[in-house]
């Protein structure tokens, strides 16, 4: 299993982050990661210049692990055209690098009209997955646990993945989000083992507060053993969101990389 880092650790800093995609690449390489997963919100003008991004990665000995695409939650018919236009662009970018395209989970400011919102999101995911097949791009769903999420519980995960199975949409489990939704990580992953194509790793405490890896309640040793046992050879993507990001992001990155090395990754 290869280990990479996600760009949300910088995105979450908001206006406090004034660096560039190249600064992120430098930090990821310096911390000892093999790759990086960029989101559309952080890729900058490289989104229009994939060949130049390929060169920037190679300069630092990095691989693009995946490309993540999210907008406003994919639940509003009024934004459907813009959502799909962005997805098409993201698919082409992912196709250039032959990587997975991860789609952010369905979300909305409220759960009013839940059935309609979830149904719209599933139709969107199915269409993107179908278009991804034509380009040879695996499309994976990444449910989250932020306050706007429409998919948190095990039942909701099962429902989302059942509604998108026929299209070939895959699963990008995130350990922290699974735990914050009240699920057991291994149980969730076992239920959908055949769909897992990409894995995000982050930790939380018993109150659902983000923690550096190994300092919360996630049983990463068991997860790594299980993934190895099923022959998973994809990426493990660190996505640090704890308070340490605000205090010392390089230290957080280094600690998480060291922790995964201690597990043989």
pLDDT at position 108: 97
Orientation of helix 244-262 relative to helix 21-30, angle to 10°:
40
CA distance 170 to 102: 9
pLDDT in tens, 148-187: 999 999 999 999 999 999 999 999 999 999 999 999 999 9
Chain position carrying tokens 């059935």: 115
d(CA 132, CA 254): 34
Q: Integer distance in angstroms from the first to the last C-alpha of the chain?
A: 6
Pick out the chain residues at pLDDT < 70.
none
Q: What is the CATH number of the domain that holds 139?
A: 3.20.20.150
CA-based radius of gyration for the chain:
17
Residue 161, pLDDT score? 98
167 in Cβ contact with 178 (< 8 Å): no
d(CA 151, CA 51): 36
Confidence at residue 30, expressed as pLDDT on a 0 to 100 scale: 98
- Compute CA distances 80 → 72, 100, 107, 126, 261, whole Å: 10, 22, 14, 13, 42
**What pTM was computed for the model?**
0.97
The predicted structure's pLDDT at residue 217: 98
Name the domain count of the chain.
1
Spell out where 17-62 has E strands: 35-39
Q: Which pLDDT value is given to residue 264?
A: 96
Separation in Å, CA 77 to CA 30, 80, 119, 156: 42, 5, 11, 21
Residue 37's beta-bridge partner residues? 6, 66
Burial (CB < 10 A; 0-12, 13-18, 19+), residue 229, is: exposed
Q: What is the pLDDT at residue 227? A: 98
Q: Are 143 and 105 a contacting pair, CB within 8 Å?
A: yes
Predicted pLDDT of residue 153? 97
Can you name the residues that pair with 39 across neighbouring β-strands?
68
**Distance in angstroms (rounded) separating the CA atoms of residues 40 and 70:** 7
d(CA 26, CA 34) in angstroms, rounded, equals: 12
> For residue 247, what are the domain limits?
2-262
Phi, psi of 136 (to 5 degrees): 75, 25
C-alpha dist (Å) from residue 50 to 55, 70, 139, 203: 9, 19, 19, 32
């Amino acid at each position: 299993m290869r280990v990479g880092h996600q760009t949300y650790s910088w995105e979450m800093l908001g206006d406090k982050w004034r660096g560039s995609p190249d600064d992120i690449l430098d930090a990821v390489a310096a911390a000892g990661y093999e790759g990086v997963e960029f989101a559309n919100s952080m890729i900058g003008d490289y989104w229009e210049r994939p060949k130049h991004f390929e060169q920037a990665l190679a300069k630092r000995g990095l691989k693009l692990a995946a490309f993540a695409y999210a907008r406003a939650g994919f639940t509003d018919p009024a934004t459907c055209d813009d959502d799909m236009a962005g997805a098409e662009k993201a698919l082409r970018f992912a196709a250039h690098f032959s990587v997975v395209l991860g789609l952010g989970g369905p979300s909305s400011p409220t759960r009013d009209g839940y059935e309609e919102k979830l149904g719209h999101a599933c139709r969107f995911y199915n269409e993107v997955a179908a278009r991804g097949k034509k380009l040879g791009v695996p499309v994976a769903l990444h449910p989250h646990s932020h306050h706007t999420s429409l998919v948190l519980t095990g039942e909701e995960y099962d429902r989302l993945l059942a509604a998108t199975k026929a299209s070939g949409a895959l699963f990008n489990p995130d350990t922290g989000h699974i735990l914050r939704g009240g699920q057991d990580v291994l149980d969730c992953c076992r239920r959908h083992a055949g769909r897992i194509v990409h894995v995000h790793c982050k930790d939380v405490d018993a109150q659902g507060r983000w923690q550096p890896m190994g300092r919360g309640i996630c049983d990463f040793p068991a997860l790594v053993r299980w993934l190895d046992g099923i022959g998973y050879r994809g990426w493990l993507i660190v996505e640090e969101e704890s308070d340490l990001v605000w205090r010392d992001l390089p230290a957080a990155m280094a600690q998480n990389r060291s922790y995964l090395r201690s597990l043989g990754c």
